[in-house]
């Protein structure tokens, strides 16, 4: 499953980095690698509620039965968290999105201990948005 493979890769990298200062730098680098959204894509329909920072997630058309999103934020670390979420979820089918253990992934990466409650809530809101998009996708 693509999400599990992405999780294994991220967990391995996080383990190699060691401390959270290095991990945060890596998360920020992941966010910097995201392609920015067009201004028109930053709108009320794509904005994720429940995030302290501004977060937008764009659900692209289904390709080959798999789902894909793009995202952006006005905060560096949050943008990196978007990159992680997209890495875990892009390329999954709607059933795989539904079945993916997001909380297990967050715990495995150590994010549940490292994030402030506001960022953790924002991360949960992003995942909830992806799941809602997947649930609305015609299979």
Residues 127, 137: Cα–Cα separation, whole Å: 15
* Residues acting as catalytic residues: 51
For the segment 36-47, the average pLDDT, to the nearest whole number, is 96
For the segment 65-91, the average pLDDT, to the nearest whole number, is 95
Task: Report the chain's C-alpha Rg in angstroms.
Answer: 14
Written as one string, the DSSP assignment of 33-59 is TSPPPPGGGSSTTTBPTT-SS-EEEEE
In this structure, are residues 97 and 128 in contact, taking their beta carbons and an 8 Å threshold? Answer: no
- Angle among Cα 6, 51, 36 to the nearest 5 degrees reads 60
Residues 35, 28: Cα–Cα separation, whole Å: 14
The pLDDT assigned to 2 comes to 61
Give the global pTM: 0.92
For the segment 102-122, the average pLDDT, to the nearest whole number, is 90
Q: Which one is predicted more confidently, 80 or 50?
A: 80
């Amino acid at each position: 499953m693509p999400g599990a493979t992405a999780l294994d890769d991220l967990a391995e990298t996080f383990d190699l980095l060691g401390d959270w200062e290095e991990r945060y730098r890596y998360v920020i680098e992941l966010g910097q690698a995201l392609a920015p959204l067009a201004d028109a894509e930053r709108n009320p329909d794509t904005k994720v509620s429940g995030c302290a920072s501004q977060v937008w997630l764009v659900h692209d058309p289904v390709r080959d039965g798999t789902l894909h999103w793009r995202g952006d934020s006005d905060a560096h670390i949050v943008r990196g968290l978007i990159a992680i979420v997209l890495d875990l979820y892009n390329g999954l089918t709607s059933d795989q999105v539904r079945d993916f253990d997001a909380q297990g992934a967050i715990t495995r990466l150590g994010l549940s201990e490292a994030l402030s409650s506001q960022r953790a809530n924002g991360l949960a809101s992003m995942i909830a948005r992806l799941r809602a998009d997947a649930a609305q996708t015609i299979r």
